[in-house]
Amino acid sequence: MLSKDQIFRASQQLKKNEVIILPTDTIYGLSAAWNIKNEIKINEIKKANLEKPLIVLISDINQLDILNIQKNEYCELLFEKSTTVIFKTVNGSENIGVRLIVREDIKAILDLIGPIFSTSVNKHGDKPINSKEELENFNKNIKVYFDQEISNTKASRIFNSVTKVWVR
Output the CATH code of domain 4-166.
3.90.870.10
**How high is the pLDDT of residue 156?**
84
- The whole-model pTM stands at 0.96
Below-50 pLDDT ranges, the chain: none
E strands, the chain, are 20-23, 28-33, 56-58, 83-88, 95-100, 116-120, 143-144, 157-160, 165-166
**Annotated domain spans of the chain:** 4-166
pLDDT at 152: 67
The proportion of the chain whose per-residue pLDDT surpasses 90, expressed as a percent, equals 89
Residues 6+ positions from 131 with CB-CB distance below 8 Å: 149
